[in-house]
Structure 1
Amino acid sequence: MWTKHHRQRKFGRLIVPAIAAAFLSYFGYHSVHGGYGLEATKEFERQRIARSAELASLTAKRKALELQVELLSDGSLEHDILDEKARYQLNVSRADEIVIFNSYFN
């Protein structure tokens, strides 16, 4: 009967821990620096705050434009607003008027 005796190798005992350390290092690195890691989460949060502020300003601008459209609509035509818009677009005024330009209509 033939038997083989293997002596314990030091290299063989380190293979599994080395592979485990490699996997843990890979996933640990990408959990911090990856596309959805901690660093990317901070960037996403910064973009969300900036876009929320932009949304608030655009919402306010939209409400102002909706108010202008409501004032110029057929059902409730305000002659003062119509006169003001026409004078602004045509750059016309009377001799006895003082013109103050405001960036409200730009």
Structure 2
Amino acid sequence: MVIYRRVRATFYPLLLYCVSGAIGGYFVWHAVNGERGLKTKGEYEQKIATLRSDLDDLKLEHASWDHRISLLSGREIDRDLLDEETRSLLGRVNRNDLVVFFPRAQK
């Protein structure tokens, strides 16, 4: 009986420390590596930077298209641009145009 009391007196606190340490370790691991942990903050910042650069590229492309549309609409229409667009849509060329065929890149 005395031995069991000594075992219980040492085993129960030891078990309690191990369980509480495991629970604490679980929460610490998830605080560092989890879905909203410290390491994912850097990944999110990198994704945000990539998406912002993509957004800047798209804004530049949008401005380019706005400029081309403004040349085709309005009081004065840019004849060269209109001629280029109609030829590309119809698939025609002028007999005085020089046509250069590039080889297709194989995938």
Compute the TM-score of the two structures, normalised by the length of structure 1: 0.69
Q: Can you give the 5+ residue segments of structure 2 that lack an aligned partner in the other structure?
A: 102-107
Percent sequence identity over matched residues?
27
Q: Report if the CA contact (8 A) 1:70-1:76 is conserved.
A: no
Aligned position for 1:21: 21
Aligned position for 1:34: 34
Aligned position for 2:49: 49
How many angstroms apart in 2 are the aligned matches of 1:79 and 1:96? 17
> Measured at CA, do residues 26 and 12 of structure 1 come closer, stay the same or move farther in structure 2, by a change above 3 Å?
same
Q: Deviations over 1:51-100 (max 9, x none)?
A: 12221221121111111111111334222221221112112222222246
Stretch deviating more after TM superposition (62-71 or 44-53): 44-53
Runs of 4+ in 1 over 4 A off after TM superposition: none
Secondary structure of the structure 2 residue equivalent to 1:93: coil
> Measured at CA, do residues 57 and 82 of structure 1 come closer, stay the same or move farther in structure 2, by a change above 3 Å?
same
**Where does 1:60-71 land on structure 2 (aligned, <5 Å)?**
60-71=60-71
Compute the TM-score of the two structures, normalised by the length of structure 2: 0.69
Report the aligned-residue RMSD: 2.6
Alignment: residue pair count: 96
